[in-house]
Amino acid sequence: MIKIENSRELYESYREHMRRLADVRAALALMQWDQETYLPAKGAGFRARQVATLSEMAHELATDGKLGSLLESLEQAPGLSDTEKKNVTLNREDFEKQKKYPPAFVRKMSETVSRSFNAWNLAKKENRFSIFEKDLAELVDLKKEETELLGYRDHPYDALMDEFEKGCTVQLTDRIFGNMLPRLQVILEKIRQAKEPEDSFLFKSFDKKKQWDFGMQVIAELGFDFEAGRQDLSSHPFSTSFNKYDVRITTRIDENDFSSMLFSCIHETGHALYEQGLPESEYGLPSGEFASLGIHESQSRLWENHVGRSRDFWKFHYPLAAAKFPDAFEGIPEETFYRAINKVNPSLIRTESDELTYHFHVVIRYEIEKMLIKGELKSCDIPACWNERYKKWLGVDVPDDQRGCLQDVHWSHGSFGYFPTYSLGSFYAAQFFAAANKSDQQLQEKMGKGDTTDLLQWLRQRVHAPGRIYNSEELCKYATGETLNVQYFLDYLLDKYGKIYEF
């Protein structure tokens, strides 16, 4: 029988092992961040090798027999707190899942992803999907192999979605989209019949340096700690974290589009605030990790849309923007600006789409991924399928690959199964924001004065602090008192757009 004092020794050994694993994964993430920001073009080949080596090291630590023995002993150990017991249970699940991956597969996947990213980057610059197609096809084959390694009950895509959102299945996601999209189409039809907001002033000339400075000012005001993170430029905005005191975000700048950089800054800041809010003492353990990608996306979507596109936010920030860009905003009333940044307009680019049509962008990617993983679509047929579905769902013609199937970085990372979390995140965001406002009815008034401190504190306490101890639905109930209810999102859209478009 294990004594309590021995339990403490076992737990500390386990904690130290998990921290070593976190160290290696952080080094791996740093190399991947560098690959997307500052890596010289000629360094790509060696970087693929280096990333593969670190991936193997991380896999070895994650599947080490000593870790398995520690976890097995700790499952029976007395004297552990509820959080410690949950950490052991979750890491035991992770351990068993990682054991399903042969080391050779891990290395091959890592090397293919590195090569695939470089091919995607070049293909996007050259505006030619064919440059990326061969590497993507190889990556899809590997993801198919991964579904067989992990196992699934109904659809192979279930195994990949479960990696990002535990318990998420095709059956569940089909039902959510099947119920949601027709309702969004009804709202969209009402908007089409209404008068369009004027927004041409958003597409004038906006100096790159001034945009950068304004974006940096805004994300600092939202609570991003620049002593614990930084922002850089990349071809596709993203965020990554090595620990809560080193969180990186990136953005991109279009000198003829005011919204492009700003809202990507706010979106990625939402991710960063979550990472900076995780408990320091739990580094390397589930209790120090984010709950799921759906919850992570809820934070980025909440800050980008419920805060960044709100009327209250711009009561404070519009005078600052008008002073920074007088040539574009001179004579433009605040209300006109607010309506413009919330204009609903079916478009080509997911990251720059409005809150309503955004979900049609997501479902297109979701449908294509399902078909790829089930073998119902070949990689070479993606552009034609993509273009056909953009016409079907959004009524737009895709002019080229760059603005079509090459716009997202996710496939080059092997992140199949990720896209549904964007919509789930939007639904969770609406529910979290409603609960936060219910707990403090002055939140939006404070936002109108440039103060989002109390909103951030509510999120830190109710969403960030628990780490991965709760799954998404448990966390939602902990934070709001009920599991996911998409009616909050629909009510939010109807209220917001009903006022903007007067229906």
Q: Which residues are catalytic?
A: 268
Q: How far is CA 126 from the centre of its chain?
A: 26
The answer to whether 283 touches 235, Cβ cutoff 8 Å, is no
Distance CA 387, CA 383 (A): 6
The answer to whether 153 touches 410, Cβ cutoff 8 Å, is no
Distance CA 8, CA 112 (A): 42
Distance CA 123, CA 157 (A): 26
Residues 6+ apart with CB under 8 A from 47: 31, 34, 35, 39, 114
State both tokens at 299: 């934070």
* Separation in Å, CA 324 to CA 256, 319, 338: 15, 9, 17
The answer to whether 25 touches 284, Cβ cutoff 8 Å, is no
> In 165-257, which ranges are continuous DSSP H helix?
170-192, 208-221
The answer to whether 420 touches 369, Cβ cutoff 8 Å, is no
Distance CA 489, CA 497 (A): 12
State both tokens at 244: 């809560």
Q: 68 phi and psi, to 5 degrees?
A: -60, -40
DSSP 8-state secondary structure symbol assigned to residue 282: G
